[in-house]
Each structure stands twice: as structure tokens, then as C-alpha cells.
Amino acid sequence: MSEKITFAPISYTGWGALSHLLEEIKRFNAEKILIVTDPFLKDIGLTNQVVNPLQQAGYKTEIYTDVVPEPPLAIGEKLVAYTRDNQFDMVIGVGGGSALDLAKLAGVLATHKGNVADYLNLTGTLQITEKGLPTVLIPTTSGTGSEITNISVLSLETTKDVVTHDNLLADVAIVDPALTISLPPKVTAATGVDALTHAVEAYISKNASPVSDALALQAIRLISNSIRTAVAHGDDKQARIDMSYGSYLAGLAFFNAGVAGVHALAYPLGGQFHLAHGDSNAVLLPYVMGYIRQSCEKRMKDIYDAMGFSSTNLSQEEASYKCVAELKRLVEDVNIPSSLKGFNIPKEALEGLTNDGIEQRRILARSPMPLSKADIYTIYKAAYDGI
């Protein structure tokens, strides 16, 4: 078997990486730049860390803040229309996955016709053909890996869908952990477990390769080692650095190997109950992994070791059970409710969630254990009860 490996875009990583912004922008000959960010980040002055140097260097900038977490399709349609109407030369996304997903969508669809809905994976009918405007993505959360993937996620009425094409890959990603210091504990926890889930699912994916394995295991090491500190002590520089690298590596891992059952079941939770993406993944992670454990015991033993434990005296089966228990403990330690009940999801919702979960066939296809509708219901039920 062979696979396509993608390591785009050019990336600057590490504390202070933002200082490379201007030298990168120069090569695009842009005059008028659209900055896509969210209103909170503008209010706390974080967006200005990007905008001020651009303005001082003489660039014309426009800050667009009609961005909400888990952006619905309508927000994407509005931004794309605005970008087409206002003739920008390039787009910079500053924020969490929500702002970055919208920025890359705006950059590409600025040079296309039709609605965003026409390009959605499950129901769209149009293909992306053009490269679009140059795009720089600057994450302020350590979670989604959006800065290095070719995916833009949008919330629909009952689930989520994606626009995906290699033209959505940014030209430059700048991953500066200093921009994450202001993340509150709750967002640090949810986005951090999101990144961990990317790495775990990439590692057990049917599309995993030696390349994605290396990325995923290092991401699991960094995140498992530092997430508790990052949540409890947000100003801990080393913990923030580890989380940023962990999220970046996990993004590269899942971009190449794909995600699987946790994400397939998380999308309906986000769509129907507007749970933050990280929370949806976190609450399902131990239950999906517990259910499919038998199909990937060896891989779960490796994950257990990467989480900082030793499986030397354990059988694969024993280590895989312990791995599930440690994943659950980690979610609890960062104060994320470990059951659907804890998120006030009613029991009556489980059937509807199951109906939407089974529709995520492309994602489910990467699960090492095939998941039927009955399996999916059983997993949601276990996650509901918290057992």
C-alpha cells in the first residue's frame, strides 16, 4: 500500500513565531488584506498583535469579526459574499478553528462562483478549481490543527459538514504558543482533548502510515504530559509550547491518516446540541475507544506508553483496557463532563444522534472496527450513562 503525504503549508512554529509574519507577507505583493478573527479576540487585543505590524508596514487591513464558535453555514456564506464584494489581495485568519476555517473558505471561494453550500462534501455539486487568494493562518487555540489541514468545517441544522480540497491549504501557518496564553481553562481543556483525539484517531485509523504514526505518537506524548498543567496554570510557558506543538503534530497526523469513530459521532452532537467541538470529542473519546478496543489492542498499548505509562509487564489486552481508563481519567482531570448526561443531553436524543452518526460513512470507514447503527447507538448509550 502507498499513500499521499502532505506537509504543506510552510510553517513557523515555537515561541515568538509571529515575528516572521511580515517577511512572509512580502512575497505575496498584497496591498489590501482581510483579517478574519472573532470579536472576543479583537476585544482583548490579541488580533492587534497581527494587525499592528501590518499597518505599520503600510498594508491596508480590514478586520472581519462576524465569526462565532462552530460557525453555521450562513456565517460562511456571508463572509464569502463580503470577500467577493471587497476585492482583497490576501486573507489572514487569526483565532481558533472557527476563524481559521472561515478564513480559508473565504480565501478560496473568493475566486469561485456559487454558494458555500454548493461545495459541501455530503450534498454539494460544485468542485473547487482555483487556488484562490494567498492565505496565512495563525491559530490562537491548541486544538484543531486547522492551520495545516485542507478542511473547513461548517455547522448544519443537525450535524456538521466540510468543504475539503487541497486548495484550502494555507500558504503559511504561524503557530506561536504565546498567542494561547490567554486561553481560559475550559477552552484549553476542550481544545487540548480535541488535539489528543486527532492524534489517537490518526494512530488507530485504517489509513495510518509510518509517517502519521510518528506524528501521532509524539503529539500524544506532548499533550498527555502537559494538558493538565496548561489547564491549571495557563501561564506555564512550557506547557503552552507543548500543547501548541502537540496540536500541530496531531493536525498533520490526522490530515494524513484521517479521523474515525469519535469524530463521526461527535459531529451530530455539535450539530444538534452546539457542544464545542473539543467537548463533543472529549465526552465520546473513552467510550468509542472502549468499544473498538479489541480491534486495535496493539495500537492502544502504544498509545498507553505514549501517554507516559509503561506496558512492559502487561499483555496487549491489559494495556488496551488501561489505555481506555487513562483516556477517561485525563478527560475528567481537565474537568470535562465524562457523560452525555453531564452535558444535559436528553436520553430521547440518542436515536436522532445515531441516525446522523451513521451518515458520516466517509469518516466511519477509517475505524479499525466497522460500526453499525446498533453499535453507534450502544456507544451513545454508554456515553449517556457514563459507564
User: Which residues bind to ligand NAD, rule: CB under 6 A?
Assistant: 38, 40-41, 46, 69-70, 95-99, 101, 140-141, 143-146, 149, 151-153, 160, 179-180, 182-183, 187, 191, 194, 277-278
- Residues 6+ positions from 6 with CB-CB distance below 8 Å: 150, 166, 169, 255, 256
Strands 151-155 and 60-64: what pairing? unpaired
Question: DSSP letter string over 58-88?
Answer: T-EEEEE----SS-BHHHHHHHHHHHHHHT-
Between 69 and 337, name the residue whose CB sits nearer to ligand NAD: 69
Upper half-sphere CA count for residue 163 (Cβ side, 13 Å): 31
Residue that the C-alpha cell 448544519 belongs to: 156
Helix (H, G, I), strand (E, B) or coil at 153: strand
> What is Dmax (Cα atoms) for the chain?
64
Between 150 and 311, name the residue whose CB sits nearer to ligand NAD: 150
Between 197 and 311, name the residue whose CB sits nearer to ligand NAD: 197
CB of 157 to ligand NAD, least distance (A): 15
Q: Give the DSSP letter of residue 342.
A: G
Cell of 93: 485568519
Q: Is it true that the peptide bond before 9 is cis, omega within 30 degrees of 0?
A: yes
CB of 137 to ligand NAD, least distance (A): 10
Which of 72-97 are b and which e, b meaning 16 or more Cβ less than 10 Å from the residue's Cβ?
Answer: bbebbbbbbebbeeeebebbbbbbbb
| Torsion sign across C-alpha atoms 99, 100, 106, 107 | positive
Between 337 and 386, name the residue whose CB sits nearer to ligand NAD: 337
Q: What are phi and psi for residue 204, nearest 5 degrees?
A: -95, 0
Question: DSSP letter string over 239-250?
Answer: HHHHHHHHHHHH
CB of 195 to ligand NAD, least distance (A): 9
CB of 168 to ligand NAD, least distance (A): 8
Cα–Cα distance measured from residue 257 to residue 98, given in angstroms and rounded to the nearest whole number? 22
Q: Compute and round to an integer the Cα radius of gyration of the chain.
A: 20
Cell of 289: 475507544
Between 240 and 293, name the residue whose CB sits nearer to ligand NAD: 240
Between 98 and 159, name the residue whose CB sits nearer to ligand NAD: 98
Q: What are phi and psi for residue 234, nearest 5 degrees?
A: -60, -20
Cell of 327: 483516556
Between 72 and 368, name the residue whose CB sits nearer to ligand NAD: 72
Q: Give the DSSP letter of residue 287.
A: H
Between 190 and 358, name the residue whose CB sits nearer to ligand NAD: 190
CB of 38 to ligand NAD, least distance (A): 5
